[in-house]
Structure 1
Amino acid sequence: MASDDCRKDDLLEDNRTDSGIDSYRSILKSEEPREPSTDFSGPRDKFSTGEERLDSAYDSSSITAESLSEIVEGCTLSSAKEEQAPSSELSEQEENLLATITEDGDTILHLAIIHEDKCISQKLIQIFPKEVLDIQNNLYQTALHLATYLNLIGVVKGLVEKEVSLELQDQEGNTALHVACQHGQTECALELTREVSLSKMAPVLETQNWRGLACLHLATLNRQHQILKLLVKKGADLNIQEGTSGKTALHLATELHDMTSVKLLLSRGANVDAAMFNGCTPLHLAVGRQDAAIANLLCQSGADTMLRNMEDETALDLANGNDDILALFPFDDIHISGRSVVRVKF
């Protein structure tokens, strides 16, 4: 055990002035940061939420899973000794370990997750208090963000059981649940919502990232039907509007020609006549995209064919002579200036 203690002493120098940064320079090698991408739909680096890596030291030869294991084992053994004492306070070395942060803002838990070491991650989750578990790195990612992104289901479960914050947002404004919706991490989404009360879940479901997208929007955009069902079950507002153009999930599903999502949303009570900021309803979008099947479903679900957008257009005005679309809009022969006065829906 003496060798373990020596190793910890080497890593955690007493004369640190930068929350452990200097003590880690001997085992971490940083890279020049890259500008993060604002394109949310493009391919992702394995360890990024933009185009920037989660941890610049990942794959560096200067830190290994073995070195992490030795550090954590020493802390675990020390914690076991502390449990026998009446005081619940951490030792000085453990306090230093908790305060150690790399140049990228990562704690040891961040690094363990990035290395996908589930065993060490679980040990650290048990050792660390909630305040440390919620530390955000330079990309504002918590351990929960990283575990969700890497689909480490057990780690996500352990963090949720420690009641870490579900509302913290990364540099793109995403909560961990946003990340699950974006990348189709269905099991992580289940763990993020399983033991959470509706009152605690509500603010997470209402949170919009910096692109104005709530979790429901991301699940719809990425055709994550199972996650979509889960969000609806957890009380997500089906008619929440994204922040840029006011589209609801039904608008987005219609634009994607995603009949499965359209049926799901309508069956759960989504507003068929919800209007975007420009007044367009899902029916306007379906007709404008010449999608007769979805337009027909919207009409069968009670869509108002007479609603006009800010351009004073009804959905019929966007049909562009498409016979399949026009068949959905029976009307009489009374016209003024080329426009029908009375339309009768059958």
Structure 2
Amino acid sequence: MKTSLMYAASMGRLEGVILLLELEATPYLTSAEGFTAMFEALINNRHDVLMHFLTSATIEPYTVTVGGIRHTALMHIQCFTTIDSVRALLRRHDIDINERDQKGLTVLSHVLVDPTPRQPGWRADVARLILAVPNSELNAVDELHRSYIQQLLGSPRFDEGLLEILLGADVDLENQDRAGETAIFNAICQQPTTKAARMLLDRGANLDVRNHAHTGLIHRIVGYYLESDAIIRVKSLLEMVPDFVNGRDSRGRTALHRALFLGQMQLVQVLLAHNPDIDMLDEYGRTAFDVACQYGRVYPSDANDADRKPTKDLDPDRSSLSVAQHLMRRLISKATRSELPLPAWALAYTGDLGQLLGRLKNGNLDMLEASPDDQNTALHILMTLKPATTKAQKEILALYLETSDGCSPRNIRDETPLHIATNENNLEMAEILIRNGADLKAQDSSGRTPLDLAKALERSAITILIRQALDQDVDLQESSEVEKSQPQPLTAEEYPTQQFVSDSHLADVDHPGIMLKDSHLE
């Protein structure tokens, strides 16, 4: 329910508000939603009533009570429509300019991320007023540990004027959010142009910083965005810092290594245009050409035949072939590569199941060796191949499972091959894995078992299959427990030791542990 004072404030009846206050109406009572009379005046744009509240020395500027916690009008700065009312609020001595809401946002945060359409310059004027208040904390962070600049750069209503004001206030450019990323990450990864990034660089922002995953700027772009967006951002970054084309991630991979792994061939062209060092080795001893071969982006042999079609088409359009030819000319002609044969996971990626099967028969192939990039093994990848390869898949699996050490390895997302088979709705492969002891209770990085995934994706046949296998496991376990509870016959080793004494030595026996019957003495 609302009080009379709330109604008067919401209707803009200034005389009624003054009269009710003189009659000692309490301005801090709240409605069912937690709103005070001041908040009613604020959200209903009752300027005269709001100014009366703000300029009264006897009325504290509380607007909302949430969960027993009072908030002042500072937390609703976006509802203010005039600079005069903002000034009146900021002049008060009973406010905390660094007050925070439940998300850790201050009044300046609300101004920076305010989605409300405003007159030009309104947010900038309010930001200046806030920063001019004594004790205003310039380097406050929200619950995600983002600084004011990071909050602004991540806002859909980014404003260069506001960024200039913050930079002029000498705020910290190197604050790291919870992911370990600084403002330059936000500028490069979230802004459509390089203007903000250049403004930060002019103020001395560090470009060599890495986040908590040890990922630098260029690697933060490659693989985290759609290829078309990544191309725009990579071009912008390399225009500012050309040397970043050879930057390494925590595993020693360059952006070219990563783009080839992901199959982003148009981005590969962009990177090649910036003259990367294509002989650089990652921590696994791979050049860019090695990665291209491992993932079927180019042929590992016949290097001089640049017109030959790649092992695996990456795009349905014509450009994919020309990109592959370009790679052939650049990578094969100039780069060094490993002479080691492709591992099992690479043969699976490239679809070369014939060679995979042949080497498996010869016993010189590790099916559980994982890709350095995504930790997928050949078993994971076999689950994703098209139905046309089912016969070869089954033959490979049958041969491997004869002498296997298990069929539930994990990839970088903690998925087992059964997770992948479930995701691909590959019932036949799922059945083979389950029959050969796949871990039915393994959880991926999202905490989902294969059964959870099957139910979420509505894979009804696989759901039934996994449930039957789980029920069978329960029955076997119960049967085993029953057997353990039953008395078991003693083994030969468990029988008590018996001592036999011949008649001729009975007189010499003097052992309290041997009891002799009378018949023995006869």
Band the TM-score falls in, shorter-chain normalisation: 0.5 to 0.7
CA distance in structure 2 between the aligned counterparts of 1:250 and 1:138, rounded to whole angstroms = 35
* CA distance 1:111–1:279, change in 2 (3 Å): same
Residue in 1 that maps onto 2:79: 67
Q: 1:178-237: CA deviations, max 9, x gaps?
A: 235445x313xx232233446814x1x211112222221122222322221221122262
The answer as to whether partners of 1:213 and 1:242 remain within 8 angstroms in 2 is yes
The answer as to whether partners of 1:174 and 1:208 remain within 8 angstroms in 2 is yes
SS in 2 for 1:27: strand
Tell me how large the CA RMSD over aligned residues is: 4.2
Higher relative contact order (CA 8 A, sep 6+): 1
Residue in 2 that maps onto 1:296: 328
Q: 1:241-268: CA deviations, max 9, x gaps?
A: 222x222211111122222322222222
* CA distance 1:3–1:118, change in 2 (3 Å): closer
CA distance in structure 1 between the aligned counterparts of 2:143 and 2:89, rounded to whole angstroms = 30
CA distance in structure 1 between the aligned counterparts of 2:54 and 2:103, rounded to whole angstroms = 22
1:146 to 2:158 alignment: no
Q: Equivalent of 1:193, from 197, 214, 223?
A: 197
Residue in 1 that maps onto 2:54: 7
CA distance in structure 2 between the aligned counterparts of 1:6 and 1:153, rounded to whole angstroms = 32
SS in 2 for 1:151: coil
1:208 to 2:245 alignment: no
Letter in 1 for 2:79: S
* CA distance 1:8–1:213, change in 2 (3 Å): farther
Letter in 2 for 1:107: T
The answer as to whether partners of 1:153 and 1:191 remain within 8 angstroms in 2 is no
Q: 1:82-114: CA deviations, max 9, x gaps?
A: xxxxxxxxx564x94532222432111212344
Query: After superposition, where does 1:1-346 map in structure 2 within 5 Å?
Result: 3-4=50-51, 6-7=53-54, 26-27=63-64, 29=66, 67-69=79-81, 73-76=84-87, 93=93, 96-117=95-116, 119=118, 120-129=122-131, 132-154=137-159, 156-163=160-167, 164-183=171-190, 185-187=191-193, 190-197=194-201, 200-201=204-205, 203=206, 205-221=207-223, 222=225, 223=227, 224-235=230-241, 237-243=244-250, 245-292=251-298, 293=324, 295-299=327-331, 302-305=334-337, 307=338
SS in 1 for 2:246: coil
CA distance in structure 1 between the aligned counterparts of 2:350 and 2:156, rounded to whole angstroms = 45
The answer as to whether partners of 2:176 and 2:182 remain within 8 angstroms in 1 is yes
Ranges in structure 2 where 5+ consecutive residues have no aligned partner? 1-47, 299-323, 353-522
* CA distance 1:144–1:198, change in 2 (3 Å): closer
The answer as to whether partners of 2:87 and 2:129 remain within 8 angstroms in 1 is yes
CA distance in structure 1 between the aligned counterparts of 2:109 and 2:222, rounded to whole angstroms = 29
CA distance in structure 1 between the aligned counterparts of 2:58 and 2:201, rounded to whole angstroms = 41
CA distance in structure 1 between the aligned counterparts of 2:149 and 2:283, rounded to whole angstroms = 34
Corresponding pairs, count: 261
Q: 1:137-186: CA deviations, max 9, x gaps?
A: 121122322222233232x4422453143322211112233235445x31
The answer as to whether partners of 2:128 and 2:165 remain within 8 angstroms in 1 is no
Letter in 2 for 1:250: L
Ranges in structure 1 where 5+ consecutive residues have no aligned partner? 14-22, 32-56, 58-62, 80-90, 325-346
The answer as to whether partners of 1:287 and 1:295 remain within 8 angstroms in 2 is no
The percentage of aligned residue pairs carrying the same residue is: 17
The answer as to whether partners of 2:296 and 2:349 remain within 8 angstroms in 1 is no
CA distance in structure 1 between the aligned counterparts of 2:106 and 2:198, rounded to whole angstroms = 27
The answer as to whether partners of 1:105 and 1:136 remain within 8 angstroms in 2 is yes
CA distance in structure 2 between the aligned counterparts of 1:12 and 1:171, rounded to whole angstroms = 39
SS in 1 for 2:269: helix
CA distance in structure 1 between the aligned counterparts of 2:232 and 2:148, rounded to whole angstroms = 24
Bigger Rg, structure 1 or 2: 2
After TM superposition, the score normalised by the length of structure 2 is 0.42
Residue in 1 that maps onto 2:32: none
Residue in 1 that maps onto 2:17: none
* CA distance 1:255–1:124, change in 2 (3 Å): farther
* CA distance 1:169–1:260, change in 2 (3 Å): same
* CA distance 1:186–1:158, change in 2 (3 Å): same
SS in 2 for 1:279: coil
**Residue 11 of structure 1: CA displacement?**
12
* CA distance 1:162–1:320, change in 2 (3 Å): closer
